[in-house]
Amino acid sequence: MDALLYIRFSTKDQDKGDSIRRQTQLAQDVAKARGLRITETLLDRGKSAYHAKNRAKGGKLYEIEERAQRGELAGKVLLVEAMDRLSREKPLESLTLVRDLTKCGVTICVTSSNRIYNTKEIDDNWTNLIVILAGAAEAYGSSHEKSKRVRSAWRKTQATGQMKDSKGADQRLCPDWIEVRNGEYAVREDRADLVRRMFDMSAKGYGLRAISDALKPEQARIGWPEGALDIRRVNNLLRGRRVLGEYQPQTRTPTGGREDAGPPVKLYPAIVTLKQWHDSQKGLESRKNTGGPRRQAINVLSHLARCHHHGEDGLCGSRMTYRGHKKQQPQLVCQSFARAAGCKCNATYRYQSLLDGILDELGTLPFPNTAQGEPADDLGEEWLELKRKKDRLEQLADRLMLEDDPIKEQAYQRFRRQVADEEGELLKRRAGSERASVTLSGEELAKAARALRDQLESSPEARLQMQTYLDQLIDMIVMDPRDRTATVVMFGGWMNFKLDKTGAVIARAGLDIPVSQQTLEANVGKDRVAQYNRAKGGR
C-alpha cells in the first residue's frame, strides 16, 4: 500500500537539528513493519500548526487536504510522527481535520504510537475519538500557554527595544540600515546613504521609476537591498516612518494577518529629518494620478494646466501637453486633442509666456498663513495621560490572562476602545503639528521657485524642483480657448489671477472664474478646498 510521509516543524532553526531525521526514520521503521511503500515526503518547514500556517495556501498539509477532497488519496496512508504535527488548533478543529481526511478514504498512521485511524477503526472503536480529542486538547493547551508567555515577552521587547534580561538592543527590530553594535542601535551608513538619496530625489520631483533606475548602480556596489530595487520597494521605503527612527509594534490577528499594536516607539537613530520626510511625501502626493514627471521635466506645468473647452460631451478637463518647435516658441495644447481622444479644441498657448507670467506674479502676491497645526509641545500632558491609561490597560490584560470573568472582559474591551480612540486622535493632531512645523510657507515656496528661473533651460534637476514647488503653490491652471487666457487657481480658489496670451496679468483675486465648485474639488480635492475656505473665513 502506498503511503505519504508528512513532516512538520514550527521554526526554521529546527531544520539544522534532528527533527527531519527523527521523523523520517520513525516513519520508515513503521512503514517496513506494516508493509507500506513511502512514495512521497511532504515537508512543512517553519509552519506553525497552532496558527494553522500548514493548512493555509502554500502549506503542504493544505495540498494534502485539497488532494484528499479530489479523491486522489483514497486508499493511501498518511504517516505522521504525532497528531500535533497535523494540527495544534482548538480541539474541535483538529478533530474535524481528522474526520475530513478519513471520510475521503485516507488512513492516518501515527508513527510514534503505531496507531491507525480510519473510518473503520473509528466506527469499530469510538474511544479512538476520545484519544484524538484528548491529544488535541493537550496540544492546543500547551501551545496556547506558550503563545501567551511569548506574546507577553515580545510586547515588552517591542515597547523597550531591548532583549529580555537587559542584554541590549534587539536585532530583530532593526530595519536593514540599522544594526546592533555593543548592545546599541547604530546606523549602517552605506545603506542609510542610499535611502537618503531616495528621499532627496523624491523631494526634487523624481518619480519612483526614475529613483529606482538611478540608484541601481549604487545598489549593486553595496550589495543592498537584496533582490530587485523595484518601484514597490522604493515606495515602501519612502512612505514608511522607520527612517525617522520609529518602530511600529504589531500583533497577529485571528486570521493570521498583522495589525498595529499601539503607537510607534522611538527606538533607533533617524536617518532623515522630519522635514525631509514630509518634503518627500509632498513630492509623492503631487505625482499621484499623474504618472509622475518625465525624466527631463520639460513641462513644469504638466500637473496643473487643464483644458477648459466645452464641447458636445461637456467640459474637457484634459491635461495640456508640451509641443516643442524648431522655429517657433514651445506651446501647450490639449492632450486629448493631440491624441485624437475626443476634444476638438486645437487652441495653443505659449508655454514660456505662461510660465514667465506665473513666476512674475508669484513675486507680488500677499500669501496667507494657512498653517492649521498646533505645536507638538502642547500635547505633552495628553501623551503622559495616555501613557498612564495604557499602563493600566496592560495591567488589566495581564489579569485577564489568569482569570475568566466576562464582566471584566467587557470592561477591558470598552477601556481598550476608549484608549485606542484617544490615541488615534492624538496621532492625527501630532501629524498636523509635524506638517505645520516643516511645511514651507507660500511666500517661501514662491521665492524658491523664482530662484530657479535662470537654471531651467540647462538643468533637468532644476525643472523637477520647480515642478514640485509649483505643484504645492498652485491648485490648477484653467486654460480658456475662447480668449486664450489662463486662470491660475490657488488656495482652494480664493486667490487667483488671470493671464492673457502674452503672460500679462489682466485680473487678480476675487474674479468670477469659470470653474464650478464640483470641478475645483475634483481637481484639487475636497479637503484642501475646505481648508482654505476655513482660512479665508477667519481672515
How far is Cα 275 from Cα 466, in angstroms, rounded to an integer?
18
How far is Cα 18 from Cα 205, in angstroms, rounded to an integer?
55
**191, 62: one domain:** no
Asked whether residue 484 is domain-assigned, the answer is yes
**510, 529: one domain:** yes
Cα separations in angstroms, 11 against 175, 192, 335: 22, 31, 56
**386, 521: one domain:** no
**113, 249: one domain:** no
Q: Whose CA is closest to 77, among 97, 54, 104, 52?
A: 104
**313, 275: one domain:** no
pLDDT at residue number 377: 44
How far is Cα 468 from Cα 202, in angstroms, rounded to an integer?
10
How far is Cα 42 from Cα 27, in angstroms, rounded to an integer?
12
- SS3 percent helix, strand, coil of the chain, rounded to 5, is 50, 15, 30
Q: Which residue has the higher pLDDT, 8 or 143?
A: 8
**361, 232: one domain:** no
| Highest mean pLDDT: which range of 115-129, 378-392, 416-430 | 115-129
- Which residue segment(s) compose the domain that 506 sits in? 305-366+441-537
**14, 65: one domain:** yes
Q: Which residue in this structure is represented by grid cell 504517516?
A: 79
pLDDT at residue number 75: 94
Asked whether residue 79 is domain-assigned, the answer is yes
Q: Residue 133 is which amino acid?
A: L
**453, 432: one domain:** no
- Which of 292, 327, 346 terminates a domain? The answer is 292
Quote the radius of gyration of the chain (alpha carbons, Å).
Answer: 32
pLDDT exceeds 90 at position 290 = no
**490, 389: one domain:** no
pLDDT at residue number 124: 86
C-alpha cell at 338: 493631440
Helix (H), strand (E) at residue 252: strand 250-252
Q: Provide CB contacts within 8 A for 489, sequence distance 6+.
A: 474, 475, 476, 477, 478, 496, 513, 515, 520, 524
Number of structural domains in the chain:
4
**76, 197: one domain:** no
Q: What is the pLDDT of residues 334-371, one digit of tens each?
A: 998 988 888 999 999 999 999 999 999 998 888 766 54
CATH number at residue 92: 3.40.50.1390
Q: What is the pLDDT of residues 515-524, one digit of tens each?
A: 455 554 554 4
- Which of 438, 464, 491 terminates a domain? The answer is 438
Asked whether residue 43 is domain-assigned, the answer is yes
**18, 69: one domain:** yes
- Which of 251, 269, 292 terminates a domain? The answer is 292
Asked whether residue 58 is domain-assigned, the answer is yes
How far is Cα 332 from Cα 13, in angstroms, rounded to an integer?
62
Asked whether residue 389 is domain-assigned, the answer is yes
Q: Which residue has the higher pLDDT, 102 or 293?
A: 102
pLDDT at residue number 506: 92
Phi, psi of 41 (to 5 degrees): -125, 120
Q: What angle do CA 454, 458, 460 make, to 5 degrees?
A: 105
pLDDT at residue number 334: 93
**413, 480: one domain:** no
pLDDT mean over 387-403? 69
CATH number at residue 182: 3.90.1750.20
Asked whether residue 166 is domain-assigned, the answer is no
In this structure, the number of other CB atoms found within 10 A of the CB of residue 389 comes to 15
Q: Whose CA is closest to 361, among 461, 467, 458, 487?
A: 487
Asked whether residue 159 is domain-assigned, the answer is no
- Residue 447, phi-psi category: left (phi > 0), alpha (psi -120 to 50), beta (remainder): alpha
Number of Cα atoms under 13 Å in the Cβ half of residue 463 = 16
